[in-house]
Amino acid sequence: MQKKKNAKTIMHIDVNSAFLSWQAAYNKQIGVETDLREISSVIGGDKRKRRGIVLAKSIPAKRAGIKTGESLMEAKMKCKDLVIVPPNYNLYIKSSKALISLLKEYSPYIEVFSIDECFLDYTGMEEHFGNPVDAAYMIKDRVYKELGFTVNIGISTNKLLAKQASELEKPDKVNTLYPDEIPKKLWPLPVEELFMVGSRTKPKLNKIGIYTIGDLANSDFNLIYQKLKSHGKLIYQYAWGIDDSPVHYTNYIPFKSIGNGSTIPFNVEDRETAHKILLSLSETTAKRLRAANMQCNVIGIKIKYSDFFSISHQRKLLNSVNTTRGIYETARELFDEIWNGKPIRKFSMRLSELTSCNITQMTIFDKKDEIKIKKLDKAIDYIRERYGNRSIVRATFLHSGLEPMLGGFGAEDYPVMTSIL
């Protein structure tokens, strides 16, 4: 546990099976006696709307072999008396915010990494709250007492090691992983436990005889670099615990693209309905794009047919856009080019090659009313911000039975998953 001078102290706080813990804490408050964490239970989508996958699971459910991401039907087959709870995203956002405001009492430097994870820069706070391990225990116990759920805390000198540390032992634990503990604690783990090594990289590494993180760290760097290029360099550094990314404590969220998608409760078989669904996706996606003060240059759509075969298509634009109409028009063209007339179950849309709104390259092909439309979008966004998403909707959705704004779960402020430290 020795620490170099001037070294930082970073904590990584991770909520144990977040969605489920939050629901359990809420149930405790409203007086439900069974604790979801102690029985086989999962948080899953609505089966009738066909959004039936496991989002989070309790530890007894994990023992029954249930995995996150599999369908509720499969999960039910593995465990007969499984309790399925529908998701409640507003509750998750409330819980996440309460956690962050509690953590802010310990350090002003907090990076919200996702809805259930954050980094806390503890450097220089020892004078106030004692050594990091004691402080971490204090934070962990306070979170449980006041907010009613358990967290894992990892402590180290950089963000990568702190994150790896918090995953060493679960749940409700405080773990350290200082650089001198790497050979003992990090290296014996299987290589896929390392951040940024996923299902695609693992077989490539296994093929050249690398099974643990230690194997990776002690292998020939040139070999790794040759096989995996810059990604190889990154994971080789990670295996040695090298990472110098700062704690982004302002609300800085780096992202490369924005996308929304939704599974439709019924099969879509006609072009008109499909266009409406694309319009409602454009509404939500474009709103997020504008809220980030960005515009996009590439628009892509993806559709999944009822037989689970999916197809995608994208196009680079002549000039960047961020208007709902501009995005919808391109999306509609893309859709008409790829659709083969078969029933569709899922639509998604992705906007990429983002640039700032502050500088815009005009073209002579700009639409005539572009400025007017931009003003209209701005006004609509403002109304929706203030009075809710349903306060102003397009007339085409009236009596259509379709959602006027599709996709997303109201947690746009939080990336649910990210690979950028």
- Binding-site residue ranges: 14, 116
- Cβ proximity to another protein: between 28 and 275 the closer is 28
CA distance 44 to 57: 9
Residue 146 touches another protein, criterion: CB under 8 A: yes
Residue 390 touches another protein, criterion: CB under 8 A: no
297 CB-contact burial (10 Å; exposed 0-12 / middle 13-18 / buried 19+): middle
- Subset of 28-57 contacting another protein (CB under 8 A): 28-31, 33
Residue 148 touches another protein, criterion: CB under 8 A: yes
CA distance 322 to 351: 9
- Cβ proximity to another protein: between 25 and 79 the closer is 25
User: Percent helix, strand and coil across the chain, each rounded to 5?
Assistant: 40, 20, 40
Q: Which stretch binds another protein (CB under 8 A): 89-97, 238-246, 266-274, 322-330?
A: 89-97
CA distance 62 to 68: 9
Residue 106 touches another protein, criterion: CB under 8 A: no
Choose, by CB under 8 A, the member of 109, 113, 122, 149 that binds another protein. 149
Residue 91 touches another protein, criterion: CB under 8 A: yes
We find the least distance from the C-beta atom of residue 28 to another protein, in angstroms, to be 6
* Active-site amino acid positions: 117
Q: Which stretch binds another protein (CB under 8 A): 20-28, 38-46, 314-322, 377-385?
A: 20-28
Helices (H) and strands (E) in the chain, counts: 13, 13
Lookup: tokens for 257: 């693209």
We find the least distance from the C-beta atom of residue 23 to another protein, in angstroms, to be 8
Residue 25 touches another protein, criterion: CB under 8 A: yes
Candidates 80, 413, 82, 136; CA nearest to 253 is: 413
Asked whether 245 and 119 are in contact (CB, 8 A), the reply is no
Q: Mention every residue, 6+ apart, whose C-beta is less than 8 A from residue 8.
A: 121, 123, 157, 158
We find the least distance from the C-beta atom of residue 130 to another protein, in angstroms, to be 25
Lookup: tokens for 129: 């709250």
Q: Which stretch binds another protein (CB under 8 A): 19-27, 124-132, 276-284, 340-348?
A: 19-27
Q: Mention every residue, 6+ apart, whose C-beta is less than 8 A from residue 36.
A: 20, 23, 24, 27, 58, 83, 85
Task: Give CA angle at 381 (375, 386), nearest 5°.
Answer: 130
CA distance 158 to 117: 15
- Cβ proximity to another protein: between 147 and 402 the closer is 147
We find the least distance from the C-beta atom of residue 279 to another protein, in angstroms, to be 33
Asked whether 38 and 47 are in contact (CB, 8 A), the reply is no
Count of all residues that appear for the chain in the document: 421
Phi, psi of 230 (to 5 degrees): -65, -30
Residue 388 touches another protein, criterion: CB under 8 A: no
Amino acid at 30: I
Choose, by CB under 8 A, the member of 9, 40, 41, 96 that binds another protein. 96
Residue 85 touches another protein, criterion: CB under 8 A: no
For the beta sheet containing 54-57, the strands, ordered from the edge strand earlier in sequence to the opposite edge, are 54-57, 41-44, 83-85
- Cβ proximity to another protein: between 91 and 189 the closer is 91
We find the least distance from the C-beta atom of residue 145 to another protein, in angstroms, to be 10
Q: Which stretch binds another protein (CB under 8 A): 26-34, 61-69, 78-86, 401-409?
A: 26-34
CA distance 309 to 193: 31
We find the least distance from the C-beta atom of residue 413 to another protein, in angstroms, to be 15
Annotated binding-site ranges for Mg(2+): 14, 116
Cis bond upstream, residue 171 (ω within 30): yes
- Cβ proximity to another protein: between 139 and 277 the closer is 139
Residue 26 touches another protein, criterion: CB under 8 A: yes
- Cβ proximity to another protein: between 20 and 268 the closer is 20
- Cβ proximity to another protein: between 15 and 210 the closer is 15
We find the least distance from the C-beta atom of residue 144 to another protein, in angstroms, to be 10
Q: Which stretch binds another protein (CB under 8 A): 88-96, 108-116, 197-205, 404-412?
A: 88-96
Residue 254 touches another protein, criterion: CB under 8 A: no
Q: Site residues (CB under 8 A) for another protein?
A: 22-23, 25-26, 28-31, 33, 91, 94-99, 146-149
